[in-house]
Amino acid sequence: MRTALVLSLALATLLGGCGRRPAQEAGGSAPAATGAAPATGAPAQKSKAAHQIPTVLAGKLNVAFVYVGPVGDGGWTYAHNQARLKLEKAVPEVHTVALESVAEGADAESVIRALARKGFELIVTTSFGFMDPTETVAGEFPKVKFVHVSGFKKNATNFGNAFGAMESMKYLAGMIAGARAKADGSPKLGYIAPFPIPEVIRLGNALMLGAKQTCPECTMEIRWVNSWFDPGKEQEAAESMLNAGVDVVVTGADTTGPIVVAGKRGRWAIGYDSDNACEADKAHCLTTPYWNWEVYYVDLVRQIRAGSWKPSAWYGDVDSGVLGLYGFEEGRTPGPGVPAAVVPLVRQKLADMKAGKFTRFDVFAAPLKDNKGNVVLPAGKKMTQEDLEGREGCAVCMSWLAEGIVGEIPRK
């Protein structure tokens, strides 16, 4: 298990991580999907990678966001950028900028350092592969505050991390996918997986465990695309699984292409990250687990302005409000493809999650077997946060695929 964990983390560092995604922006001052930061009316300096570094505004709390993808991806980066715009409206004393399509590694470190030198007081980096560069720069600029989204590193002074229990929403999505496949008499699901890191594995396992609640006979094909944002690969993966008889395609990557592909084939899909993903094909998109990052960002900035913020490893559960499930919010109607019988089941489970009665640890309730028949979590045992994130000290590290998943985790 530990060897597999090390391999997964090594792959995460080399290949990238939790950052990702684009879609067309409706209004606001977001940057165009070109890699340029939003204009600030002042001369901008260029980093070594030619990213424009905007100027800070006097009298404001200056916050910079660093994105791995374009804001037009319809997913991860789009969701973060929408949250950035909502932050500006909720806290007028804040001035924000965003740099998109920043490559992980040396480029990211250069951009983060340039932002710190420019005078930004809070720098938020939003991809797993930005973790080490953020840590490095945080050590160089002790007066600047840094938050890394999706990683696990932090320090005691100016560097924290944040993520959320998306596994809970994926579990509900699995329940919906399983119900649809069972109703169609075609118990095969498909999962488009970006990278073999604990986060992606965890979310895929949650999907399968949720599907088993409504379709015990269901299996789930897995396709690794080794990218957070690659429209071509994502669509090819969807086509491949549909050709193999998959009834519902669930994407873990950044674009809405798989939804469009499934719709054209008269099949079903589940999106990811942004609450607008189903706009790609409302008739065939069953739902979308998504992020409300503004919940965290607004609280973060208010703490910083009040002088009460301390670095932490923030991990929001469903009751935090940072997570959503399209069509199942208060007053909303599920998509037309969602079987009526599963709607009350999902609504009740979601209510239990919001009430704290069903947490991320209940998603992975024992006993659990992997897809090779091995017991990974015996009856009477419980997972820890280290297990869920595949961090040092984990006993049930996320280096296994749940029973019912057809495929393997790539090993280097």
The string of pLDDT tens digits covering residues 37-57 is 332 222 233 444 478 899 999
**CB–CB of 125/137 below 8 Å?**
no
Do 183 and 280 have their domain in common? yes
As a whole number, mean pLDDT of residues 91-110 equals 95
Would you state the pLDDT for residue 5?
Answer: 33
**CATH (domain of 149):** 3.40.50.2300
pLDDT for 186 beyond 70: yes
- DSSP-derived letter for residue 280 is G
Buried b (16+ CB within 10 A) or exposed e, 80-113: bbbbbbbbbeebeebbbbbbbbbbbeebbbbbbb
Measured CA to CA, the distance from residue 248 to residue 236 in angstroms comes to: 15
Q: What percent of the chain has pLDDT over 90?
A: 82
Measured CA to CA, the distance from residue 378 to residue 399 in angstroms comes to: 16
Do 127 and 226 have their domain in common? no
Residue whose pair of structure tokens reads 């391999």 in the numeric block: 7
Do 381 and 305 have their domain in common? no
Do 150 and 255 have their domain in common? no
As a whole number, mean pLDDT of residues 9-33 equals 31
Question: Does the residue 397 lie in any domain?
Answer: yes
Measured CA to CA, the distance from residue 297 to residue 186 in angstroms comes to: 42
Question: Does the residue 120 lie in any domain?
Answer: yes
Using CA atoms in the order 240, 242, 247, 253, what is the torsion angle rounded to 10 degrees? 50
Question: Does the residue 101 lie in any domain?
Answer: yes
Measured CA to CA, the distance from residue 204 to residue 363 in angstroms comes to: 12
Would you state the pLDDT for residue 38?
Answer: 32
Question: Does the residue 396 lie in any domain?
Answer: yes
Q: Where are the beta strands (DSSP E) in 59-131?
A: 61-66, 94-99, 122-125
pLDDT for 333 beyond 90: yes
CA angle, 338 then 341 then 347, to 5°: 75
Per DSSP, the three-state class of 122 is strand
pLDDT for 297 beyond 70: yes
Partners of residue 166 on adjacent β-strands: none
**CB–CB of 29/85 below 8 Å?**
yes
Question: Does the residue 341 lie in any domain?
Answer: yes
Measured CA to CA, the distance from residue 198 to residue 1 in angstroms comes to: 12
Would you state the pLDDT for residue 349?
Answer: 98
Range of the domain at 237: 166-291+327-406
Do 238 and 386 have their domain in common? yes
As a whole number, mean pLDDT of residues 109-130 equals 96
Question: Does the residue 34 lie in any domain?
Answer: yes
Structural domains counted in the chain: 2
Do 381 and 371 have their domain in common? yes
C-beta neighbour count of 73 within 10 angstroms: 30
Do 25 and 96 have their domain in common? yes
Measured CA to CA, the distance from residue 214 to residue 203 in angstroms comes to: 18
Would you state the pLDDT for residue 373?
Answer: 98
Do 223 and 234 have their domain in common? yes
Do 65 and 123 have their domain in common? yes
Question: Does the residue 3 lie in any domain?
Answer: no
pLDDT for 363 beyond 80: yes
Would you state the pLDDT for residue 23?
Answer: 27
Given pLDDT bands bounded at 50, 70 and 90, which one contains residue 74?
confident
Nearest to 276 by CA among 265, 261, 291: 291
Do 230 and 136 have their domain in common? no
Question: Does the residue 412 lie in any domain?
Answer: no
Do 121 and 109 have their domain in common? yes
- The token pair that represents 183 in the structure block: 């109703």
The string of pLDDT tens digits covering residues 217-262 is 999 999 999 988 899 999 999 999 999 999 999 999 988 999 999 9
- Report the amino acid identity of residue 317: D
Do 282 and 371 have their domain in common? yes
